């Protein structure tokens, strides 16, 4: 008789465990399908070769273990260097592929975060698809920039932190701390996001351990885990800040654009150079009319979140408001976390114009999608007749109509590729000892071609300012000098076009052309 209740009690428990495992497996399959769909759509329009501007610099720095432009991105460069060790592929293509995979994983994590916050699976699919179809997200994943890895680290941190708060293992929290530390040292504005995550962890820890002092002791390992990647990245910059580093933005800027400090002196000077890099002093020195830029960025945020017109903006705002109320009722701490991350990213984008770019709104955009998923879930719960399939079909149809009028979300980033430009430059045929100079965004692919593709140690390629082009020519009197673009040259010199480059030659021989007719005085 005693075995009957035991069996009766165990059967529901076993069925519940099976249901939970099935649900988790389904969520993982759906998340994987979302990532695969993003990759399949993005592969044809991704820039796979050496690129101009910042994407090309990150490709070059990762392939040569160098130092990029402020704030340096040491963590991303270290990870990129590991990726470049994969054989049989060009480093530029590997970095572009890693960026694409990071962006696709963001959508998988966005779906899984919503599921951990009890969003209906169909609502989570819809909001994730809406974020993935945004043109700003599409531009980020098709060109090797820093925004997709930054968004991936933030999603990993939120996913691990929310999972720990929902009863998960402490290893998830430790992993979230590592991701947060790596995110802060590579994207300093994310210090506000780190503060929001820390506040959430403290609130959850206090609710679990009401005794004074216990939450603080439990957070020590979290702080140590966050400090490890920060210290590694700082040490990397100081280690690689030498003239022997093939690509060193600090050294190039200090020698050819403006002086920073004396690297070869005492340790504080090295710290000063690192601080100049990490704090983006170069951009802060050039900052003008910050108030005007602040107003411009407010207008940009308004246009970016409501770029489909006032009707779409009002509908989206209503869904987000409903979702915020639902999440507040179900999990106040999680609601504060999501709302705090949205406000911190939007505020830093508007206030601190040094680091803010158009792609920096991606964290806020993705987290707004989480609140929209909560709102759609609430709407699904209110539909009585076949709630999930019917509401999903209606919302999916609206989503298709919403994005069908504009194809900017799938624009190609192939215009950033420099393959044809490099073919016309002919780096492999340049004379030994040649010096190639140009503006930063144009000379970057040539630096990649010299350092990575052809590995010509006899050539020098570096960035200069347009004002200092003439003086740079005089620094190399005995070496062939080439410009990427037509710059002003010192008296006694002229430019001769050679392929896609301009060679600086002495003007001792007059250029061919019609001569002036002499006249009698």
Tokens 């796979």, residue located: 48
Whether residues 110 and 154 share a domain: the answer is yes
**Structural domains of the chain, count:** 2
Angle CA(380)–CA(384)–CA(387) in degrees, nearest 5? Answer: 40
Band of pLDDT at residue 243, cut at 50, 70 and 90 = confident
Span 385-391, mean pLDDT? 55
pLDDT digits (tens, 9 = 90+) for 320-353: 899 999 999 999 999 999 999 998 887 777 766 5
Q: Is residue 429 part of a domain?
A: yes
pLDDT at 314: 77
Q: Is the pLDDT of residue 309 over 80?
A: no
Instruction: Please check whether residue 295 lies inside any domain of the structure.
Output: yes
Among 194-198, 239-243, 401-405, 447-451, where is mean pLDDT lowest?
A: 401-405
- Which domain CATH number covers 498? 3.40.190
Q: How far is Cα 328 from Cα 257, in angstroms, rounded to an integer? A: 52
Q: What is the DSSP letter of 279?
A: T
Q: Give the position of tokens 């069908």.
A: 404
Q: Is 402 in the same domain as 476?
A: no
* pLDDT tens digits, one per residue of 256-274: 777 775 545 555 777 888 8
CA angle centred on 380, ends 378 and 382, rounded to 5°: 75
DSSP 8-state symbol, 518: P
- Residues 462 and 256: their CA atoms lie apart, in Å, by 8
**Is 80 exceeded by the pLDDT of residue 500?**
yes
Overall average pLDDT of the 400-408 stretch = 53
> Does 515 fall in a domain?
no
Cα dist from 232 to 31, 75, 80, whole Å: 32, 8, 15
Q: How far apart are CA 155 and CA 159, in angstroms?
A: 6
Q: Which residues contact 274 (CB under 8 A, 6 or more apart)?
A: 234, 237, 238, 241
What tens digit of pLDDT does each residue of 17-68 get? Answer: 555 666 678 889 999 999 998 999 889 889 999 999 899 999 999 999 999 9
Asked if 163 and 170 touch (Cβ cutoff 8 Å), the reply is: no
- The token pair that represents 439 in the structure block: 């503006």
Q: Please name which of 345, 378, 367, 448 lies closest in space to residue 94, comparing C-alpha atoms.
A: 448
Residue 155 falls within a domain, yes or no?
yes
Asked whether residue 394 carries a pLDDT value surpassing 90, the answer given is no
In a domain, 521, yes or no: no
Are 398 and 464 in a shared domain? no
The pLDDT, as a whole number, for residue 3 is 40
Residues 422 and 401 in one domain: no
- For residue 514, being part of any structural domain is answered with no
Higher pLDDT, 90 or 292: 90
Could you tell me if 426 and 404 lie in one domain? no
Residue 397 lies in a domain: yes
Identify whether residues 343 and 486 lie together within a single domain.
no
Q: How many CB atoms within 10 Å of residue 473?
A: 21
Vertex 396: Cα angle to 392 and 397 (nearest 5): 120
Mean pLDDT of 316-321: 84
Q: Which residue, 357, 385, 410, sits at the end of a domain?
A: 410
pLDDT value of residue 447: 94
| pTM, entire model | 0.87
Given a cut of 70, whether residue 200 has pLDDT beyond it is yes
Please report whether residue 496 resides in a domain.
yes
Full residue range of the structural domain in which residue 53 is found = 3-410
Do residues 253 and 321 both lie within one domain?
yes
Both 443 and 364 in one domain: the answer is no
Same domain, 320 and 272: yes
Residue that finishes a domain, picked among 410, 443, 461: 410
513 — phi, psi (to 5°)?
A: 155, 175
For residue 115, the Cα-to-chain-centroid distance in whole angstroms is 24
Same domain for 244 and 199, yes or no, is yes
Of 176-180, 307-311, 445-449, minimum mean pLDDT range: 307-311
Q: What is the pLDDT of residue 8?
A: 43
Question: Is pLDDT of 296 > 70?
Answer: no
Asked which of 375, 410, 445 is the last residue of a domain, the reply is: 410
Count CB neighbours of 223 within 10 A: 12
Q: Is the pLDDT of residue 521 over 50?
A: no
Beta bridge partners of 187: none
Name beta bridge partners: 482.
436, 503
Task: Name the β-bridge partners of 497.
Answer: 502
d(CA 201, CA 284): 33
Does 24 share its domain with 69?
yes
Residue 357 contacts by C-beta under 8 Å, 6 or more apart in sequence? none
Whether residue 247 sits in one domain with residue 266: yes
Q: Are strands 460-463 and 435-438 parallel, antiparallel or unpaired?
A: parallel
């Amino acid at each position: 008789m005693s075995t009957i209740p035991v069996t009766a009690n165990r059967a529901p428990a076993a069925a519940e465990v099976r249901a939970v495992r099935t649900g988790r497996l389904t969520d993982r399959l759906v998340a994987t399908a979302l990532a695969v769909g993003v990759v399949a759509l993005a592969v044809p329009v991704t820039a796979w070769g050496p690129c101009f501007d910042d994407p090309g610099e990150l490709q070059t720095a990762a392939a040569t273990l160098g130092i990029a432009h402020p704030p340096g991105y040491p963590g991303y460069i270290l990870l990129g260097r590991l990726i470049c060790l994969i054989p049989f592929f060009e480093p530029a293509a590997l970095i572009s592929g890693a960026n694409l995979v990071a962006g696709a994983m963001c959508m998988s994590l966005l779906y899984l975060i919503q599921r951990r916050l009890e969003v209906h699976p169909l609502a989570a699919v819809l909001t994730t698809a809406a974020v993935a179809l945004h043109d700003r997200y599409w531009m980020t994943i098709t060109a090797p920039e820093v925004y997709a890895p930054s968004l991936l680290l933030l999603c990993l941190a939120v996913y691990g932190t929310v999972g720990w708060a929902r009863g998960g293992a402490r290893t998830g929290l430790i992993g979230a701390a590592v991701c947060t530390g790596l995110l802060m040292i590579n994207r300093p504005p994310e210090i506000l996001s780190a503060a929001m995550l820390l506040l959430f962890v403290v609130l959850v820890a206090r609710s679990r351990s009401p005794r004074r002092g216990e939450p603080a002791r439990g957070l020590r390992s979290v702080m140590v885990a966050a400090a490890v990647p920060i210290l590694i990245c700082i040490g990397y910059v100081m280690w690689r800040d030498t003239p022997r580093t093939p690509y060193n933005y600090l050294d190039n800027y200090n020698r050819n654009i403006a002086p920073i400090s004396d690297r070869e002196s005492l340790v504080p000077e090295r710290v000063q150079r690192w601080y100049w890099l990490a704090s983006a002093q170069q951009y802060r020195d050039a900052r003008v009319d910050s108030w005007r830029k602040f107003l411009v960025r407010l207008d940009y945020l308004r246009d970016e979140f409501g770029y489909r017109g006032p009707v779409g903006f009002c509908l989206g705002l209503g869904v987000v408001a409903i979702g915020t109320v639902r999440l507040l009722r179900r999990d106040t701490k999680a609601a504060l976390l999501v709302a705090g991350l949205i406000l911190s990213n939007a505020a830093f984008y508007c206030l601190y114009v040094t680091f803010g770019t158009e792609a920096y709104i991606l964290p806020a955009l993705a987290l707004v999608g989480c609140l929209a998923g909560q709102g759609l879930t609430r709407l699904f719960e209110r539909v009585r007749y076949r709630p999930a399939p019917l509401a999903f079909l209606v919302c999916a149809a609206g989503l298709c109509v919403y994005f069908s009028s504009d194809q900017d979300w799938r624009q190609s980033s192939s215009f950033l590729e420099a393959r044809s430009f490099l073919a016309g430059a002919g780096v492999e045929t340049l004379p030994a000892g040649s010096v190639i100079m140009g503006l930063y965004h144009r000379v970057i692919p040539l630096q990649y071609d010299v350092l990575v593709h052809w590995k010509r140690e006899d050539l020098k390629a570096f960035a200069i300012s347009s004002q200092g082009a003439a003086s740079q020519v005089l620094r190399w009197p005995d070496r062939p000098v080439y410009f990427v673009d037509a710059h002003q040259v010192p008296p006694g010199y002229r430019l001769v076009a050679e392929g896609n480059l301009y060679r600086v030659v002495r003007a001792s021989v007059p250029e061919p052309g019609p001569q002036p007719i002499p006249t009698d005085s």
